[in-house]
Amino acid sequence: MDDTAAVDGFAATMGGKMLDVVLVNAGVAGPEHRSASAATAAEIGALMFTNAIAPVRLARSLAGHVRPGNGVIAFTSSVMGSVALNTGGHELYRASKAALNSLSRGLWGELQGRDLTLLSLHPGWVRTDMAGPSAPVSVEDSAAGLVKVIEDQAGAHKHLFIDYQGNEMAW
């Protein structure tokens, strides 16, 4: 994700191939201290690039290869990216996912008229290395839910912030 030459060149390898779904999944927790006041510019830049800039850059480069009609571009976002639902904590990660949501809204504006659906997906608090073993959602349940949401929303021709159970979320 952070190799800009690879991201920029990837679409060129597609030729005339079309995709039904582009699922852009990128996320790092950020610096161990997770505090904006303690973070260096380099730490903030790396976090924002990985979690927000690079995913939208990849999606933008592949948008012309997404099949019109039922094609979907989906980003792995997070409830932590919701400004309306901000309960505090993990401020840098929250800011990076809010930036992803904002950038994806901008991308949606660019894609108007392309006959696509764009989704910003909250996978749940999933038992991964990043969330830890106390997270309540299994990887399997999250993945199955995300696949169902993508399938159900294909052809919706709108941009939604939605969780793995199909619930729309506040931006």
11 domain residue, yes or no:
no
Does some domain include residue 169? no
Q: Looking at the 3D structure of the chain, how many domains does it have?
A: 1
In a domain, 25, yes or no: yes
pLDDT band at residue 158 under the 50/70/90 scheme: very high
Q: Does some domain include residue 8? A: no
* 69-94: pLDDT as tens digits: 999 999 999 987 898 888 877 899 99
CATH number of the structural domain spanning residue 111: 3.40.50.720
Q: Which residues contact 91 (CB under 8 A, 6 or more apart)?
A: 34, 35, 36
Bridge partners for 159 per DSSP: 118
Write out the residue range of the structural domain in which residue 74 sits.
18-163
The pLDDT value recorded for residue 135 is: 74
The SS3 of residue 148 is helix
Question: Does residue 99 belong to any structural domain of this protein?
Answer: yes
What is the chain's mean pLDDT, rounded?
A: 91
In a domain, 2, yes or no: no
Q: Could you tell me if residue 97 is inside a domain?
A: yes
Examine residue 118 and state whether it is found in any structural domain, yes or no: yes
